[in-house]
Structure 1
């Protein structure tokens, strides 16, 4: 039977059309589409309710005025940072009734009160596994170290994050180096592998890791994977947890999106934690996606950092992971996963892994950064992808520079989000007037979250200098004092600055007018970004 080219092309065209129809129908009836439509319908219902209230203008005006007055009094006397109060006051000024009701809605925290109670219970239950070593505290106190007072702050917070000695720290100045070491450590796993990430995306990086995890499952290793539920709208399918479970991996999505409007969705799991057999732990800025190891080019060269811990300090990351994992469990099991650490292991300095939660009033991530700035004598070097500052952080940066500390901030030369980048530049002038030096990484995008000071203190983790990280996300990091890896962090900062261009007032003034205008307008709602 002979089929000519014309018939062959027709068959291909029909197959392509059929495939397009199936894709279109899957898109129309997908969970993403259904949830999006239901959320839009709820918003339309709220808008329609306000339109209906227009029939009762006089009563609405009286209620609106009373609510606005009460809201202003509340904001003036609240413990919010200054910029957040200004943002809410602007919203109330523009739309008194809607702005007041929106504030009430966010403060009542409908939709996540149960999460808060559950997390508080888990933190209390796990505190017995995170106890300070009295000898370590005694040595810190006798050295008149400011780190001792930071440990005291941790003890008073909701976290209970001890200071550990004899923990080896390895610093990775790129996602590529982190990836290669991670694969080696995963292959060594004998008992369990716990992984918690904000983003997981199918590709080379996750593909290679997943093959190792499958191998380990076949060897009898327990594997758990926890990722933020928001990525079910972007990088992974809604049934991805089931797909992982079919190959023996226990998996969960934190706070998956459902068809109901809730403040719950504002709080994302931005942590990056890997714990292997309780003996090795990883954290840092690197997610499990190909751009983080520069296998795909999204915003030029992707600059990121990570840490590997070996020793007692891994206990804190184990507990942080199990707290998040156990939110939807009937009970939290910790003790069987605690490793017997080698007491003969010797390593210089002190290591304090810690977490931050939006469910309490302790701004641990921001307070640690401010503590470093306030006690710095010579320098503070910072790497951050975003710069959306509250008044406290802005003051700490300026004050440190004004008292003679060499404060330098390294940011992306190519941003991943243009509007927040325009907003970040609105802070540059004030910071530079105080003496802060700002550098833009010309090869591409800086995603690292690093603080280093005076060759003795450093933080590497997931915490950005923006409202999302400091107020609204679950975060984690490692504070280091006098550990050997601090020299590697310093060298990396210097090398990164050499590839960066320093911002001057002239280059800042030469920005296009629309960028300046957008930055100034967006600054009024900075806390909501």
Structure 2
């Protein structure tokens, strides 16, 4: 009798999920795959769907429309203008999907690798007067964390308000002792989507991958670098970690602060009045045009995917990409191939290996598709290249946290800074080409001769691409 009851309950649950799939499924192929899983894998199919398959753009973790932040800026509804009219489509797209406008007269400094980045961060933190907002996917114990703790203690004593937000899974190794030490000196700490049994199925697959640090609403940092000693000392497996971060002074930093304030509310239910930290005034008359792009599973549109898609499709001369985790969906892959086949100089720079073997196999499963289309693929041999950068046509640069994979584009909370500046683009292009000159250029014929065992591993890993 108990077995019959369990079967009936399971069938009811499965039917409810099937109806939800039919109503909310995005892609027919994906919907069909989940239907087959639910009906052919007893219990496991339902659990897998609840864990990995739900459409978060329909069933949101958080309803951000209910979050009202006081904002003294009038730029949200401003008329769009930019020095380069060809970027106008991307600017309008970002403004429409995220309501984050183009900002003017910012100072932007590109920071390469951990040493330069943390020197700039610590120098900026020393000058904090009102507040420090710090948010990282990975925040772990070590020398960097200890140095920050000592600096935070000093700044709290000076009357600076410090709020720290970390991801519950990415920062799983952060010790309770260090968190307690932060709280004891007066730092407010929240965990974003903590690992809890009650919310396990609904939240474990959706992480806050953002790296944001804002001082006084006037100076902001974002990019690929986390709070981890490996960005200074490297690690035994991969050697030196190479990454690109950005320091932004001006109105764009205020919009990074806005993202933090929103995430802080989502994590702890505590509203920080945004009017306390009004969008910063321009720092210089002839600064750079910058647009901040937040994205996440609660958005109505896949904003970051659309932004990358727009940059790729609008490229006219060249498109250079640095990214460790390029596992493209059909739209991104086709747009890259179309650009290369149309005569655009498309180059991808990535590490010879990644920090996860299965991910490495999956990334490599797409190499042949790139090479056949004429995309130049470079493998960087010196350590691990963790940067997330796109450069195009001496006109537009994207620096941020989002990889080119389903996890970043569909499931994670991410943030990128889009910079429209000719001189910065040219400088970053030269740096990119210099790194390419140190790297191994793959050719199609050699790549096709790799052992069949490797091909099987890559093909098998490719099946997991929506989950990686």
172-181 vs 66-75, which moves further? 66-75
2:211 is aligned to: 272
Greater helix proportion? 1
How many Å separate the matches in 2 of 1:341 and 1:55?
A: 62
Change over 3 Å in CA distance of 1:208–1:487 after alignment to 2: farther
Q: Deviations over 1:288-317 (max 9, x none)?
A: 101122354441221100000111111110
Query: Whose radius of gyration is greater, 1 or 2?
Result: 1
Which residues in structure 2 correspond to 1:14-25 (within 5 Å)? none
2:34 is aligned to: 88
Confirm whether residue 400 of structure 1 aligns to residue 348 of structure 2: no
How many Å separate the matches in 2 of 1:312 and 1:220?
A: 24
1:147 is aligned to: 87
Q: Name the SS of the counterpart of 2:251 in structure 1.
A: coil
Residues 68 and 97, structure 1, Cα contact 8 Å, conserved in 2 = no
2:301 is aligned to: 362
66, 69, 78: which one pairs with 1:121? 66
1:41 is aligned to: none
Using structure 2 for the length normalisation, give the TM-score: 0.89
84, 100, 107: which one pairs with 1:161? 100
Residues 376 and 454, structure 1, Cα contact 8 Å, conserved in 2 = yes
Residues 21 and 31, structure 2, Cα contact 8 Å, conserved in 1 = no
Which residues in structure 2 correspond to 1:428-507 (within 5 Å)? 428-482=367-421, 484-507=423-446
1:341 is aligned to: 281
1:331 is aligned to: 271
1:20 is aligned to: none
Using structure 1 for the length normalisation, give the TM-score: 0.80
234, 243, 255: which one pairs with 2:193? 255
How many Å separate the matches in 1 of 2:207 and 2:462?
A: 22
Superposed displacement of residue 89, structure 1: 6.0
How many Å separate the matches in 2 of 1:231 and 1:313?
A: 26
Confirm whether residue 74 of structure 1 aligns to residue 28 of structure 2: no
Which residues in structure 2 correspond to 1:411-422 (within 5 Å)? 411-422=350-361
Q: Name the SS of the counterpart of 1:313 in structure 2.
A: helix
Superposed displacement of residue 522, structure 1: 2.5
Confirm whether residue 99 of structure 1 aligns to residue 45 of structure 2: yes
Which residues in structure 2 correspond to 1:145-224 (within 5 Å)? 145-157=85-97, 159-224=98-163
Residues 130 and 161, structure 1, Cα contact 8 Å, conserved in 2 = no
176, 180, 186: which one pairs with 1:242? 180
How many Å separate the matches in 2 of 1:412 and 1:164?
A: 33
94-103 vs 399-408, which moves further? 94-103
Superposed displacement of residue 463, structure 1: 0.4
Q: Name the SS of the counterpart of 2:62 in structure 1.
A: helix
1:320 is aligned to: 259
506-515 vs 206-215, which moves further? 506-515
Residues 410 and 440, structure 1, Cα contact 8 Å, conserved in 2 = yes
Give the gaps of 5 or more residues in structure 2: none
How many Å separate the matches in 1 of 2:416 and 2:394?
A: 18
Q: Deviations over 1:130-181 (max 9, x none)?
A: 734736x2x43xx671332223222322x21110110011001222211111
Residues 69 and 273, structure 2, Cα contact 8 Å, conserved in 1 = no
Q: Deviations over 1:222-249 (max 9, x none)?
A: 111111111453x212464333110111
Superposed displacement of residue 91, structure 1: 3.3
Q: Name the SS of the counterpart of 1:166 in structure 2.
A: strand
Change over 3 Å in CA distance of 1:429–1:130 after alignment to 2: farther
Size of the aligned set, in residue pairs, is 463
Superposed displacement of residue 360, structure 1: 2.2
Q: Name the SS of the counterpart of 2:105 in structure 1.
A: coil
How many Å separate the matches in 2 of 1:357 and 1:458?
A: 21
Q: Deviations over 1:474-496 (max 9, x none)?
A: 00010011253223321221122
Superposed displacement of residue 393, structure 1: 0.6
Residues 87 and 525, structure 1, Cα contact 8 Å, conserved in 2 = no
